[in-house]
Amino acid sequence: MFRFADPTWLLLLLIIPMLIYWYERRHRRLQSSLRYSNLDIIKQAPRSPLKKFRHSLFVLRMLALTTLIIAMARPQAGSKSREVITEGIDIMLCMDVSTSMLAEDFQPHNRLEVSKVVAQDFIKSRANDRLGLVVFAGQSFTQCPLTLDYGILLKFMEQIQCGMVEDGTAIGNALANCVNRLRDSKAKSKVVILLTDGQNNRGEIDP
């Protein structure tokens, strides 16, 4: 975004056309005031090589004045940021990627593909809520921490596939991972959404 910090100075640019008008009138008066009694004198007089540059000094002065006025207006380029305070919910999505999620109950799609579509639609429907993602099978890990950048979260969601971690269904460990991610959250509401098709059969923590 481009803007001027002190745009009032730009009003001085109105002087430029006035000065150009004054210069042209002055030049014409000087030309019309020249009178010669003998035209042969004009023809014989050598032409100065600087004649064609006689207006250059005035042009340079106008350019310098224009540049000075614009500089006084303090042009600024860049993005303008502002702080927005919102009260949202912190939500951790907890997704099962065990091999049982490959079952094609929703042909032609399997359970994992359907779960991803449901989760993606949910993400797109949120506003001002921080969302995170934990995936699990026999073990769990954080695929994406809490964020307001839904675009990057959706990209992480697309990368999910079965076989990312050791097989099994450690629901307790996955939920504990989500709780740890929410522990330091200052949001008034904290939610864990579990997407799984099985019962807990791995891990040290009972859900």
Residues 189 and 117 occupy one common structural domain: yes
Across 54-123, the runs of DSSP E, i.e. the strands, are 75-77, 90-96
Q: Are residues 133 and 57 in the same domain?
A: no
Specify whether 66 is located in the same domain as 104.
no
Task: Write down the pLDDT at residue 35.
Answer: 52
For position 52, what pLDDT does the model report?
60
Same domain flag for 56 and 115? no
Give percent above pLDDT 70 in the chain: 83
Instruction: Let me know whether 191 and 118 are in one domain.
Output: yes
Please report whether residue 82 resides in a domain.
no
77, 109, 131 - which closes a domain: 77
The answer to whether position 26 is within a domain reads yes
CATH number at 101 reads 3.40.50.410
* Sheet order of strands, 130-136 included: 140-147, 130-136, 90-96, 190-195
Which amino acid does the sequence have at 183? R
Is residue 170 assigned to a domain?
yes
Residues 96 and 191 in one domain: yes
The model's pTM is: 0.58
Task: Note down the domain range covering 175.
Answer: 90-195
144-171 burial, b if ≥16 CB within 10 A, otherwise e?
Answer: bebeeebeebbeebeebebeebeebbbb
The answer to whether residues 188 and 109 belong to one domain is: yes
Judgement on whether residues 49 and 94 belong to the same structural domain of the protein? no
CB 73 within 8 A of CB 4: yes
Residue 170's pLDDT is 92
So what's the pLDDT on residue 85?
Answer: 67
Res. 43 pLDDT band, cuts 50 70 90: low
Domain co-membership, 16 together with 108:
no
Q: What percent of the chain is predicted at pLDDT more than 90?
A: 46
SS3 state of residue 5: coil
- Of residues 88 and 161, more confidently modeled: 161
Same domain, yes or no: 95 and 182: yes
In a domain, 205, yes or no: no
The answer to whether residues 138 and 178 belong to one domain is yes
Is 201 part of a structural domain of the chain?
no
Cβ–Cβ under 8 Å, residues 55 and 26: no
Question: What integer is the mean pLDDT of 122-147?
Answer: 94
Specify the range with the lowest mean pLDDT, choosing from 41-45, 90-94, 192-196. 41-45
Per the structure, the count of domains in the chain is 2
The mean per-residue pLDDT over the stretch 29-45 comes to: 58
pLDDT, mean of residues 50-70: 81
Do residues 73 and 99 share a domain?
no
- Over residues 85-133, the pLDDT tens digits come to 667 899 999 999 999 999 988 888 899 999 999 999 999 999 889 999 9
**Stretch among 27-41, 90-104, 192-206 having the lowest mean pLDDT:** 27-41
Kindly write down the DSSP assignment for every residue of 10-52, as one continuous string: GGGGGHHHHHHHHHHHHHHHHHHH---S-HHHHHHSPPPTTGG
Task: Band the pLDDT of 53: cuts 50, 70, 90.
Answer: low
